[in-house]
Chain A
Amino acid sequence: MSVLVEKADLSLKYTGHYNNVKELLFKNSSEVLNAQRNKAIQDFVLQGIPTRKNEAYKYTNLQPQFFPEFKFIHQKENVEADLNVIFRCDVPQLSTHLNLFFNGWYYDKNRETANLPEGVIFESLEKMAKNKPEIFQEYYSKLAKTGDDPLVALNTAYAKDGYFLYVPKNIIVEKPIQLINLLQAQNDTFATQRNLIIIEPGASVQLIICDHTLNLNQYLSNSVTEIFVSENANLDYYTLQNQHNNATSLNSVFIQQERDSNVTTHTSSLHGGLIRNNLKIILNGENATANMFGMSFIDRKQHVDNFTQITHAKPHCQSNQVYKNVLDHESTGVFSGQIHVIRDAQKTNAFQKNNNLLLTDKATMQTKPQLIIDADDVKCSHGATVGQIDEEALFYLRARGIDEDKARLMMMNAFAHEVVQEIKVKALRDRIDDLVEKRLNGEVARCHECAYNCEC
């Protein structure tokens, strides 16, 4: 069989599946979601599952990830056990509005939403798309365009549930909202999650998203999140990726910021087979600020690809990116960061940094900064380094009686520290510090001690 046919076959598997389950997909779904599906699957066919020939996926071949015979979940499963009882996030002192998601679906017995400030909505996307079609009409699929990316197209074709978050004008949500994405099924499973966040002017919210797998089956999770941040609003968006070596995690986050808004994204990739994070931010109003931080610690044959695009569409905006990776064994990492300053977006400040630490000769890192500047009065800088542990510093620590292994650990921790310290929620910062240390120590960084008895 030629490669071409195989590739076509692989995409056809997913379109064929679409045709087979079409009825289920349309059933119980809002018209707004359904209206996009047919075009989305067509856009998916046109683009196909990304290979290295696709410029945006040059260093991450997704074809093998799509080979397994996955089960799909197109209807809400009946979760008999009470997840609130079984799963508790054990991060000490981390007080959040906790919400669980099961294989991409909103869990009906989430309790914490009742305590949210008045007017704040955190709910199932499936439900809210039906209840508030006018909002979805205005926002849904407006940032995540099916013609631009095959993962978005596939997500939009299959999208049924996820979450909808709405924060009304001037409301400040004091406690972070925490989402825990649990993947657990009897079979290898393909999960789709679709999220929409709308933050009204002057509002402020922090989100903590934790991705976990609860057994060793193969999972592919393809999620798309669209986020609208209005004037003078604030969003802190933390992601903690802690899955296993058979998990493929594809995350596409789209953010549009209006004037005077502030957004900080912070992604910690601690464990996963293949992780691809697409993060696309448009600064669509003057004096908007976007901070994008990311770090990964990977080993064995793990692969992490952070792909960022920041568009400065208006003058006087700031963007700041710091991404750090520590790669052990034969792991591979990618950072592609594009900064695009549109014509007339004068007085732009755009900064980008990517530092990588290779612990072995076999680990590899691809780093690709890309600046497209169409305005003339801008400050842009980017820097990338790929290196090993500083031997002079290592000797200094050893000369004070610190064992080599421990000294290396301290150095690696130090390397990550610049990114860890950007976490503003202290309990989360402490926990991630702790996980990073365990991870670097060669222990599996298990985030939770849930009763699931998971061996992954």
Chain B
Amino acid sequence: MLSIKNLYVSVEGKEILKGINLEVKPGEVHAIMGPNGSGKSTLANVLAGKEEYEITSGEVTYFNEDLLEKAPEKRAKEGIFLSFQYPVEIPGVPMVNFLKTAVNEHRKNKGEKELKAGEFLKLMREKMDLVEMHTQLTNRSVNEGFSGGEKKKNEIFQMALLEPKLAILDETDSGLDIDALKTVAHGVNALKTSENATIVVTHYQRLLDYIVPDFVHVLYNGKIVKSAGKELAFELEEKGYDWIKKENGN
């Protein structure tokens, strides 16, 4: 469903991604690991359509269509979901309005009828249980006053509502205690089907104990320097990123 070919990306003239190649098929879970500053979040943001990045060469197709020319909202409606590393607080935008608008935009795109307030609340309650979201959170403004863990749960909660085809989880585990981590991972696993795919971007191996990847890629200095099965994650955990750095002459 997703094919990245020789992707080069710069930010303010500085080259961050230097020739990324990646193929993701339905049902697969890919982990992208790497030390800080290797370009992991850049890759996640580029896929979601953040505008400050300059694509200098390469291509990305999603279901055989050029992804890079599409607006972020278009990508989202076609099934790409980015779980943000740092979800933004938006005071004054009530959670319920935000979620209802997002869900209905997705439905409109699929030619489905928009949900009325009552129907939406019912759907919301179902999905809330999945990640143990509390009503006191959904009664607030988007992410306003949420703890770090609550923000990450909220991301997965949104994912549950929007049912993406391709979920990109950007450092969803960072800053979570073990209970929150388990809840989040449980949510992600429960949403897994043979039709959708997940890209887990993470610095730590810990999350991969709970969300088991089919493939692990190591991103270093803007390039994927190693790809293997889940065992690579354990190897990384054991040897540390210095191993990668040494192998790549740095």
Contact = CB atoms under 8 A, between A and B. Distances in A.
A22 B200 CA distance: 82
Nearest to B89: A393
Contacts of A418: 91-92
A411 B106 CA distance: 20
A396 B97 CA distance: 14
Contact of B76 (A401, A410, A414, A416): A401
A372 interface: no
B82 interface: yes
A414 B141 contact: yes
A443 interface: no
A402 interface: yes
Contacts of A401: 73, 76-77, 102, 105-106, 109, 162
B101 interface: yes
B168 to A, nearest CB: 10
A402 B71 contact: no
Nearest to B90: A393
B105 A410 contact: no
Given A402-B102, A402-B105, A414-B141, A397 B90 contact: yes
B105 A398 contact: no
Interface in A378-401: 390, 392-393, 395-401
B88 A396 contact: yes
A26 interface: no
B98 A410 contact: yes
Interface string B71-94: 111011100011010011111110
A403 B93 contact: no
A9 interface: no
A418 B102 CA distance: 23
B191 to A, nearest CB: 16
A351 interface: no
Contact of B93 (A395, A398, A404, A410): A410
B90 A411 contact: yes
A455 to B, nearest CB: 33
A415 interface: yes
Contacts of B112: none
Interface of A is mostly: helix
A411 B92 CA distance: 8
A396 B143 CA distance: 11
B87 A396 contact: yes
Contacts of B12: none
A410 B73 contact: no
Contacts of B76: 398-401
Nearest to A410: B93
B232 to A, nearest CB: 29
B39 interface: no
B195 to A, nearest CB: 19
Contacts of B101: 402, 406, 410
A27 interface: no
A417 interface: yes
A358 to B, nearest CB: 18
B165 to A, nearest CB: 13
A413 interface: yes
B90 A398 contact: no
B48 interface: yes
A134 B87 CA distance: 64
Given A410-B97, A410-B101, A392 B73 contact: no
B51 to A, nearest CB: 7
Given A392-B88, A399-B82, A400-B158, A411 B93 contact: yes
A272 B12 CA distance: 43
Contacts of B105: 400-403, 406
A110 to B, nearest CB: 38
A417 B102 contact: no
A288 to B, nearest CB: 30
B50 interface: yes
B49 interface: yes
A330 to B, nearest CB: 26
Contacts of B141: 414
Contacts of B106: 401
A406 B104 CA distance: 13
7 contacts: A393-B89, A397-B93, A400-B73, A400-B158, A401-B109, A410-B101, A413-B93
Interface of B: 48-51, 71-73, 75-77, 81-82, 84, 87-93, 97-98, 101-102, 105-106, 109, 141-142, 158, 162
Given A397-B93, A414-B93, 18 more contacts: A396-B88, A397-B98, A398-B76, A399-B49, A399-B72, A399-B73, A399-B81, A399-B82, A400-B73, A400-B98, A400-B105, A406-B105, A407-B73, A413-B93, A414-B90, A414-B92, A414-B141, A418-B91
